[in-house]
């Protein structure tokens, strides 16, 4: 996904002059409005100079933004330019931004400002911005783009990015965009969209470099120099047999260090990692991360080469998967940072509803011991201690389990070892916290019996927490559910119920 900073210089100047002239007008009006004065020419000139100096400073900081990202100075300057409706300055600030930074800038602003940011760039809108945007935001801004901008945008993106952009759209928008691109492009996009979401087919780009096995290094190098249809970035060349099935992989660094007469077949890597087109993107990410790949060939069922996946796309997948696990463990169905208030409220609701049911279950357990609590109100005071410690210990175990399952570090080989270890950890920490909590409650209520019951319940619940904190994610995974989704609700239900039941039950039996 390289970014060619020279490219935009070809198209911008005239647009810039146009914006400048318009903006200058606004600028002069603003200045006069603010100071409430009609300036004499001298004053006006000096004011202009000061403003121009400030602009030069801003421009320099936005130049550094190109290298080191969207700095907070640039962000502040953009916010100021928006609030002052200074189109000229805004354009000057935005222009040097990398597409990824511009996408960030759009995401961080709200509805009307987003629209302003997109329209002010007009036909100089870089297609890569679309690929970088969050899905929800992308769908929001596409209507602001003209068909002309859209079709030229999509034509210049590699297939994986184009398909990524399409994948996030509603059907109507998909139709509109499809009609705006070329016949060839349309076929590729439709083929890409035919693959299931989150598979290698969706992730790959169709543009690859491949050569036959009987070519020499020299032939290959010459071919690369004259070919006009190379992908923008590539790191490996694939060597194919007659059926277009990849026989080997040759890194560019290896190609470059080899003498011209050598056959590519003699220097290619024969044991390389293929990606099947229907492979889950999580498995693809696993391959890349484990073997340190930068690109991999994608093959269909007949082992024919159909595309290539590059590491930058995999990095996105790794981020996505990590985010998904984190969100799901935190009870968030979907990252909703950029979502609207309504959709966020709705997405959070379902998790809270499940939680309400499990909390009611815990309340039912407490309710069963109503008479006991009535006689000894200290029980009501202390009971959350047991449940809360169990919940936290269980969350610790399940967090380690969920991550280890996602990273394929927890397998059939070491699963039972892990469960035993977690249970033992629960037991040992249970003993320690039983002592601490017991002493605290003894000092507080001066009742050794309550202290003993509290301590016993604590040990029981922490053992249960370790056991189920390890067992539940492993069990969910084995039943082909995502362990990140259900684990925490199941585990805390268990620790709540066991916590209240053991503490109140023991109290009812021994103390009343």
User: Applying CB under 8 A, does 26 fall inside the site for its own copies?
Assistant: no
The secondary structure of 113-165 as a DSSP string is HHHHHHHHHGGG--HHHHHHS-HHHHHHHGGGS-HHHHHHHHHHS-HHHHHHH
Q: Give the chain's radius of gyration (CA, Å).
A: 31
- Spatial CB neighbours of 426, under 8 Å, sequence gap ≥ 6: 393, 397, 462, 463, 464, 465, 466, 467, 469
User: Applying CB under 8 A, does 352 fall inside the site for its own copies?
Assistant: yes
Binding region for its own copies (CB under 8 A) out of 26-34, 171-179, 247-255, 474-482: 247-255
Which C-beta is closer to its own copies: that of 27 or that of 297?
297
Binding region for its own copies (CB under 8 A) out of 31-39, 164-172, 189-197, 333-341: 333-341
Q: Is the dihedral of CA 234, 193, 336, 62 positive or negative?
A: positive
User: Applying CB under 8 A, does 233 fall inside the site for its own copies?
Assistant: yes
Residue with tokens 């992989």: 249
User: Considering only residues 401-460, where is the footprint of its own copies by CB under 8 A?
Assistant: 402-404, 407-414, 417-418, 421, 424-425, 428-429, 432-433, 436-437, 440, 444
User: Applying CB under 8 A, does 359 fall inside the site for its own copies?
Assistant: yes
User: Applying CB under 8 A, does 199 fall inside the site for its own copies?
Assistant: no
Two structure tokens written together for 8: 């935009």
**Are 132 and 7 in contact, with CB atoms under 8 Å apart?**
no
User: Considering only residues 136-155, where is the footprint of its own copies by CB under 8 A?
Assistant: none
Helix (H, G, I), strand (E, B) or coil at 249: strand
User: Applying CB under 8 A, does 111 fall inside the site for its own copies?
Assistant: no
Q: How far apart are CA 80 and CA 62, in angstroms?
A: 14
- Alpha helix (H) residue ranges in 143-273: 147-156, 159-167, 171-180, 183-194, 200-203, 217-226, 252-256, 264-267
Q: How far is the CB of 32 from its own copies (least distance, A)?
A: 29
The secondary structure of 62-119 as a DSSP string is HHHHHHH---HHHHHHHHHHHHTT-HHHHHHHHTTS-HHHHHHHHHHS-HHHHHHHHH
**Closest of 34, 39, 86 to residue 58, by C-alpha:** 86
CA atoms within 13 A on the CB side of 399: 10
User: Applying CB under 8 A, does 159 fall inside the site for its own copies?
Assistant: no
User: Applying CB under 8 A, does 1 fall inside the site for its own copies?
Assistant: yes
Question: Given candidates 80, 108, 213, 244, which one binds its own copies under the rule CB under 8 A?
Answer: 108
Q: How far is the CB of 493 from its own copies (least distance, A)?
A: 11
User: Considering only residues 251-290, where is the footprint of its own copies by CB under 8 A?
Assistant: 251-253, 255-259, 269-274, 286-290
User: Applying CB under 8 A, does 480 fall inside the site for its own copies?
Assistant: no
Helix (H, G, I), strand (E, B) or coil at 246: strand
Which C-beta is closer to its own copies: that of 202 or that of 403?
403
User: Considering only residues 163-182, where is the footprint of its own copies by CB under 8 A?
Assistant: none
Which C-beta is closer to its own copies: that of 147 or that of 340?
340
Q: How far apart are CA 489 and CA 351, in angstroms?
A: 9
Q: How far is the CB of 355 from its own copies (least distance, A)?
A: 5
Which C-beta is closer to its own copies: that of 122 or that of 331?
331
Which C-beta is closer to its own copies: that of 180 or that of 395?
395
Q: By CB under 8 A, how many residues form the interface with its own copies?
A: 136
User: Applying CB under 8 A, does 490 fall inside the site for its own copies?
Assistant: no
Binding region for its own copies (CB under 8 A) out of 43-51, 150-158, 166-174, 357-365: 357-365
Which C-beta is closer to its own copies: that of 137 or that of 306?
137
User: Considering only residues 63-102, where is the footprint of its own copies by CB under 8 A?
Assistant: 66-69, 72, 75-76, 79, 98, 100-101
């Amino acid at each position: 996904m390289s970014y060619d900073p020279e490219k935009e210089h070809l198209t911008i100047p005239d647009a810039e002059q146009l914006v400048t002239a318009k903006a200058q007008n606004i600028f002069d009006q603003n200045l006069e409005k603010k100071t409430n004065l009609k300036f004499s020419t001298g004053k006006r000139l000096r004011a202009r100079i000061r403003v121009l100096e400030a602009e030069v400073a801003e421009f320099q900081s936005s130049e550094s933004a190109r290298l080191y990202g969207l700095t907070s100075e640039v962000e502040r300057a953009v916010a100021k330019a928006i609030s002052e409706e200074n189109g000229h300055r805004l354009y000057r600030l935005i222009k040097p931004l990398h597409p990824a930074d511009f996408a960030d800038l759009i995401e961080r602003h709200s509805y009307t400002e987003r629209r302003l940011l997109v329209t002010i760039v007009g036909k100089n809108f870089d297609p890569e911005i679309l690929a970088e945007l969050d899905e929800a935001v992308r769908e929001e801004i596409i209507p602001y783009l003209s068909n002309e901008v859209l079709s030229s945008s999509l034509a210049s993106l590699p297939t994986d990015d184009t398909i990524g952009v399409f994948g996030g759209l509603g059907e109507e928008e998909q139709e509109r965009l499809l009609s705006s691109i070329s016949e060839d492009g349309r076929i590729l996009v439709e083929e890409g969209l035919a693959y299931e979401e989150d598979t290698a087919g969706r992730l790959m780009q169709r543009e690859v470099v491949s050569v036959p096995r009987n070519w020499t290094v020299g032939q290959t190098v010459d071919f690369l120099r004259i070919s006009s249809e190379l992908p923008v970035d590539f790191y490996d060349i694939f060597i194919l047999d007659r059926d277009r099935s990849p026989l080997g992989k040759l890194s560019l660094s290896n190609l470059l260090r080899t003498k011209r007469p050598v056959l590519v077949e003699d220097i290619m890597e024969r044991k390389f990692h293929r990606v099947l087109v229907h492979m889950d993107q999580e498995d693809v990410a696993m391959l890349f991360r484990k073997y340190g790949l930068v690109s991999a060939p994608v093959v269909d069922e007949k082992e024919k080469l159909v595309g290539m996946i590059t590491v930058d796309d995999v990095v996105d997948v790794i981020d996505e998967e990590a985010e998904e696990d984190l969100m799901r463990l935190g009870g968030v169905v979907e990252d909703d940072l950029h979502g609207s208030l309504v959709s966020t409220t709705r997405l959070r609701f379902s998790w809270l509803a499940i939680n309400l049911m499990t909390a009611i279950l815990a309340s039912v357990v407490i309710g069963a011991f109503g008479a006991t609590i009535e006689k000894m109100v200290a029980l009501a005071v202390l009971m959350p201690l047991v449940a809360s410690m169990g919940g936290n210990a269980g969350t610790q175990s399940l967090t380690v389990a969920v991550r280890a399952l996602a990273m394929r570090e927890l397998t059939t080989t070491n699963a039972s070892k892990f469960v035993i270890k977690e249970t033992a950890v629960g037991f040992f920490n249970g003993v320690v916290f039983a002592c601490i909590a017991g002493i605290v409650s003894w000092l507080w209520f001066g009742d050794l019996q309550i202290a003993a019951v509290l301590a016993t319940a604590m040990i029981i619940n922490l053992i249960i927490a370790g056991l189920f904190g390890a067992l539940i994610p492993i069990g969910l995974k084995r039943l082909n559910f995502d362990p990140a989704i259900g684990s925490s609700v199941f585990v805390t239900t268990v620790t709540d119920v066991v916590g209240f039941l053991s503490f109140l039950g023991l109290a009812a039996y021994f103390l009343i």
